[in-house]
């Protein structure tokens, strides 16, 4: 039996070089799912969208809901922001806003001449004519630039939305719309200067006779007194009208009566400043005097009225305090009545305050619609406060479907 001969190194290299080897297939290691994630298999793994696409879809959904909420929560009297002439090719949105402006002007005129304010303004006008309410004698509101500027600044404490409506109702003229890049407050200031503080010119007879200078001074004093009476009537009429209009919620969006940055926060403060700076000391407290005539002057603006309900992205962060949800429920289900906002705890800095606000909104939603009666208020409020985006989107979507849409297109029982 022959023993196998050991191959030499040359034969070994030759055999390896002449042999055809199969192509080597690289082995791919199986990717293990991350800890805490369930591996996707079959069609679920193929149909699952990537993470970037899912996040983009959520962002688009939140942006759409935030746009709708801002449209409902818009506080700035959208109807009076575009007062002016419609262009040659107006859009349906511009025509609708112009229609709302006309409705607001008509309501303001009816309130001014209605049974609520008509007798009161007549009494005030009579006391002005009798010099019981009069401008302090040394002052001259027709020629003193500093006094006119102070009075215009005092009227400028009102929000432009309300000030425009009040001035137009009192002067029976339409205030011009601001041009591009022009402030509405500046436009209204010029309008008030030329229409409220400008008295009609009085034609004085030329001085003649032995005491011509004395006669001229008396005629000038009478003209100044008539101008002061007219200015005083217009200012008091504007103040009383705006207070009654705000208390009656004449503007549906119910914006603030006074500018948030102004120092005046109530009608009583406005009258006190006006009396201190321009009126004589015969009356004393002008607020109490007008209250005796039948003007309650109840409006007082607080920080709750000045809360900014405008939403910004991300939606989960903006809706955590529950204040915007409460106001949204009021506007969609409670006809805008401030029943929930007055019970809010603001600023909502602690978790308990946010839970209280969110629970208010969810309770009101459950009571407003039978379809939302199954809401777990406490558990849902916790997830809202924690900033769960899916829960907040679901709550807002449910509110839109079950409260906002039925209010726009109610179904009668006969149709069912």
350-377 pLDDT per residue, tens: 899 999 999 999 998 888 888 888 888 8
pLDDT, residue 168, reads 93
The helix, strand and coil proportions of the chain, stated in percent and rounded to the nearest 5, come to 55, 0, 40
- pLDDT (mean) for 374-388: 87
Number of separate helices (H) and strands (E) present in the chain? 17, 0
pLDDT at 230 over 60: yes
> Which pLDDT band, with edges at 50, 70 and 90, does 7 fall under?
low
- pLDDT (mean) for 159-171: 93
Lowest mean pLDDT among 106-110, 263-267, 312-316, 329-333: 312-316
> How far, in Å, CA of 93 to CA of 57, rounded?
29
- pLDDT (mean) for 384-389: 88
Look at 5 and 131; give whichever has higher pLDDT.
131
pLDDT, residue 342, reads 84
DSSP state string for 312-350: -S-HHHHTTTSHHHHHHHHHHHSTT--SSGGG--SS--S
> How far, in Å, CA of 112 to CA of 416, rounded?
45
pLDDT, residue 45, reads 42
pLDDT, residue 212, reads 66
Winning range, highest mean pLDDT, from 269-273, 299-303, 321-325, 392-396: 269-273
Look at 290 and 210; give whichever has higher pLDDT.
290
- pLDDT (mean) for 332-359: 85
Look at 2 and 123; give whichever has higher pLDDT.
123
Burial 322-347 (b: 16+ CB within 10 A, else e): bbbbbbbbbbbbeeeebebbeebbee
> Which pLDDT band, with edges at 50, 70 and 90, does 267 fall under?
very high
Winning range, highest mean pLDDT, from 223-237, 272-286, 337-351: 223-237
pLDDT, residue 8, reads 52
CB 346 within 8 Å of CB 307: yes
pLDDT, residue 36, reads 47
Report which of 383, 399, 379 is spatially closest to residue 391, judged by C-alpha positions: 383
Write the CA distances from 357 to 73, 322, 331, integer angstroms: 17, 5, 16
- 408: which 2 tokens? 């726009």
For helices 351-368 and 377-385, what crossing angle results, to 10°? 130
- pLDDT (mean) for 162-177: 91
> How far, in Å, CA of 282 to CA of 41, rounded?
89
> Which sequence spans correspond to the domains of the chain?
113-201+212-293, 315-408
Q: Report how far Cα 232 is from the mean position of its chain's Cα atoms.
A: 31
> How far, in Å, CA of 98 to CA of 106, rounded?
13
pLDDT, residue 107, reads 92
pLDDT at 412 over 50: yes
pLDDT, residue 52, reads 47
> Residue 204: how many CB atoms within 10 A of its CB?
12
**DSSP character at residue 404:** I
Report which of 188, 186, 166 is spatially closest to residue 246, judged by C-alpha positions: 166
> Which pLDDT band, with edges at 50, 70 and 90, does 28 fall under?
very low
- 76: which 2 tokens? 């700035």
SS3 415: coil
pLDDT, residue 377, reads 86
Containing 329, the helix (H) or strand (E) segment is: helix 323-333
CB 175 within 8 Å of CB 167: yes
Mean of the per-residue pLDDT values of the chain: 79
User: Could you give the percent of the chain with pLDDT greater than 90?
Assistant: 25
> How far, in Å, CA of 127 to CA of 289, rounded?
11
Lowest mean pLDDT among 3-7, 217-221, 270-274, 399-403: 3-7
Look at 371 and 395; give whichever has higher pLDDT.
395
Containing 239, the helix (H) or strand (E) segment is: helix 212-247
Per residue in 239-265, pLDDT (tens digit) is 999 999 999 888 877 888 999 889 999
User: Could you give the percent of the chain with pLDDT greater than 70?
Assistant: 77
Could you tell me the end-to-end alpha-carbon distance of the chain, in angstroms, rounded to an integer?
105
> How far, in Å, CA of 116 to CA of 295, rounded?
10
């Amino acid at each position: 039996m022959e023993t196998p001969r050991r191959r030499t190194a040359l034969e070994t290299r030759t055999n390896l070089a002449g042999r055809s080897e199969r192509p080597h297939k690289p082995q791919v290691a199986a990717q293990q799912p991350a800890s805490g994630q369930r591996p996707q298999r079959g069609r679920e793994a193929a149909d699952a969208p990537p993470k970037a696409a899912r996040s983009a879809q959520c962002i688009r959904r939140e942006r759409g809901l935030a746009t709708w909420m801002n449209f409902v929560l818009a506080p700035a009297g959208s109807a009076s922001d575009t007062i002016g002439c419609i262009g040659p090719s107006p859009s349906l949105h511009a025509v609708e806003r112009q229609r709302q402006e006309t409705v607001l002007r008509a309501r303001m005129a009816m309130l001014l001449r209605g049974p609520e304010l008509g007798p009161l303004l007549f009494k005030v006008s009579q006391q002005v004519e009798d010099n019981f309410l009069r401008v302090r004698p040394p002052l001259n509101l027709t020629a003193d630039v500093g006094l006119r500027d102070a009075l215009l600044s005092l009227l400028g404490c009102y929000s432009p939305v309300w000030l425009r409506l009040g001035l137009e109702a009192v002067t029976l003229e339409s205030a011009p719309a601001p041009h591009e890049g022009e402030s509405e407050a500046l436009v209204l200031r010029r309008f008030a200067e030329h229409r409220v503080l400008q008295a009609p010119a009085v034609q004085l007879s030329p001085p003649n006779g032995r005491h011509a200078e004395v006669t001229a001074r008396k005629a000038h004093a009478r003209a100044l007194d008539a101008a002061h009476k007219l200015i005083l009537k217009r200012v008091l009429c504007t103040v009383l009208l705006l207070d009654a209009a705000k208390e009656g919620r004449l503007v549906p969006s119910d914006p603030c009566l006074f500018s948030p940055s102004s120092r005046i926060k109530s009608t009583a403060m406005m009258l006190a400043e006006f009396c201190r700076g321009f009126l004589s000391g015969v009356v004393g407290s002008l607020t109490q005097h007008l209250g005796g005539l039948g003007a309650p002057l109840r409006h007082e603006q607080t920080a709750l009225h000045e809360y900014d309900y405008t939403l910004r992205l991300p939606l989960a962060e903006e809706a955590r305090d529950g204040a915007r949800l409460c106001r949204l429920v009021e506007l969609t289900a409670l006809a805008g009545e401030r029943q929930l906002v007055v019970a809010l705890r603001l600023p909502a800095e602690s978790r308990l305050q946010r839970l209280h606000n969110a629970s208010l909104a969810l309770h009101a939603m459950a009571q407003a619609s039978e379809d939302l009666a199954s809401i777990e208020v406490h558990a849902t409020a916790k997830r809202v406060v924690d900033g769960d985006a899916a829960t907040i989107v679901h709550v807002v979507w449910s509110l839109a479907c079950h409260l906002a849409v039925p209010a726009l297109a109610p179904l009668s029982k006969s149709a069912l």
